[in-house]
């Protein structure tokens, strides 16, 4: 249990924050019951419950679970040994729907993320269904001189994507007190030549240079197979000819709208010539690359991303993690990343 001390002068700290911090000290450090705290603070038990919830949600209190029985868990250890990836496995019952599974993984990921975010960092964020869900649960953590950089464009024939992407990035920026750098380009150009010309513009080069200096990258894996469709597959970004092309080329998923095959290769995929996400060689330069995944339907996409060496840290639901370490069809286990 950790408490975040507020360094502001007492008179500048909001009253709710002071009350929440006091209630948290009494509850977590002095073992008082909520009834006893309510009596001491001259308020109701329900008010104390709300103050404790506020203390957790606002980052005043951080709760860590340290199990002496299974730390790290067998699955996490097996993922580490086989893929050289640190995994956080989120307990979710097998009968949960993909919608509930996504929300529970996103909530856990949002609470874990603070341990990776710090001052003086360049943090790349992709957009998508998983990142959107995660952004709703971010726990505030004060940083300085940190920037949030959009990894791929979000415009298409229906929308500029600016409102969608800016809201997502704003939540990350607000949570960590960071500057936000938007990437106002389409998700896919119509012509590869247009992209090449645009990439020569100084305003675009500035964003590409920021992406090349990432300390942390945060993303999900896109999948055309999931019950909760990845945004790129259901937001009007792809046309029938695109789907046919991806199918012919054996594509199993994407990271930041850059597509790849089961073996992690992305070369020769025509749509990537028009995509605005970072080349995988650029993405792999980031020392920490956090991937958030929920649902077994994304297993082929996850395996491809692991084969591509895109992930250093994985936050994943228990069922998908279990399937990842089980033998693949045909009796072979997934290969260890070389």
Q: Which comes out higher in pLDDT, residue 12 or 146?
A: 146
> Does residue 30 register a pLDDT over 80?
no
Nearest to 142 by CA among 250, 19, 60, 64: 60
**54-58, 134-138, 290-294: range with lowest mean pLDDT:** 54-58
Beta strands in the chain (DSSP E): 2-3, 61-62, 86-90, 122-125, 147-150, 179-181, 216-220, 251-255, 258-261, 288-293, 313-317
Q: Which of 7-21, 48-62, 64-78, 280-294 has the highest mean pLDDT?
A: 280-294
pLDDT for the residue numbered 67: 60
pTM: 0.80
Per-position DSSP letters for 114-131, written without gaps between them: TTT--TT-EEEE--SHHH
Instruction: Quote the DSSP letter at residue 25.
Output: I
Task: Please give the average per-residue pLDDT across 20-44, as a whole number.
Answer: 87
The per-residue pLDDT of the chain, averaged, comes to: 87
- The residue among 153, 289, 144 whose CA lies nearest residue 214 is 289
Domains and CATH numbers, the chain: 15-58 (1.10.10), 74-325 (3.40.50.1360)
In this structure, of 47-56, 229-238, 283-292, the range with the lowest mean pLDDT score is 229-238
- Predicted confidence at residue 332, as pLDDT, reads 47
| Highest-confidence segment of 73-77, 90-94, 132-136 | 132-136
> For the segment 161-194, what is each residue's pLDDT rounded down to a tens digit?
677 889 999 999 999 999 999 999 999 999 999 9
The Cα 320–Cα 84 span in angstroms is 17
pLDDT of 238 reads 86
- The tokens for 24 are 């948290």
For residues 337 and 245, the model is more confident at 245
């Amino acid at each position: 249990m950790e408490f975040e001390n507020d360094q502001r002068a007492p008179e500048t700290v909001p009253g709710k924050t002071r009350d929440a911090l006091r209630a948290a000290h009494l509850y977590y450090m002095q073992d008082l019951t909520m009834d006893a705290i309510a009596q001491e603070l001259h308020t109701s038990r329900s008010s104390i419950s709300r103050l404790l919830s506020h203390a957790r949600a606002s980052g005043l209190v951080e709760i860590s679970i340290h199990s002496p029985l299974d730390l790290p868990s067998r699955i996490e250890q097996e993922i580490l040994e086989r893929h050289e990836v640190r995994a956080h496995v989120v307990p979710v019952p097998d009968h949960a729907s993909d919608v509930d599974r996504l929300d529970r993984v996103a909530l856990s990921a949002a609470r874990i993320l603070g341990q990776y975010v710090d001052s003086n960092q360049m943090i790349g964020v992709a957009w998508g269904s998983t990142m959107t869900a995660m952004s709703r649960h971010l726990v505030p953590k004060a940083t300085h001189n940190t920037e949030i950089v959009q990894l791929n464009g979000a415009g298409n024939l229906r929308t500029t994507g600016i409102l969608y992407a800016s809201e997502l990035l704003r939540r990350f920026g607000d949570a960590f007190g960071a500057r936000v750098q938007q990437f106002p380009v389409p998700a896919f150009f119509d012509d590869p030549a247009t992209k090449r010309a645009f990439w020569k513009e100084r305003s675009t080069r500035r964003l590409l240079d920021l992406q090349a200096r990432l300390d942390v990258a945060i993303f999900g894996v896109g999948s055309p197979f999931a019950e909760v469709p990845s945004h790129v597959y259901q937001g009007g970004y792809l046309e029938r000819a695109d789907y046919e092309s991806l199918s012919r080329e054996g594509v199993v998923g994407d990271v930041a709208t850059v597509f790849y095959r089961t073996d992690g290769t992305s070369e020769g995929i025509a749509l990537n010539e028009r995509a605005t996400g970072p080349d995988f060689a650029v993405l792999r330069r980031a020392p920490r690359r956090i991937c958030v995944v929920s649902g077994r339907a994304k297993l082929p996409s996850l395996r491809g991303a692991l084969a591509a060496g895109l992930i250093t840290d994985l936050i994943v639901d228990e069922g998908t993690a279990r399937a990842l370490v089980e033998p693949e069809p045909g009796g072979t286990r997934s290969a260890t990343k070389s």
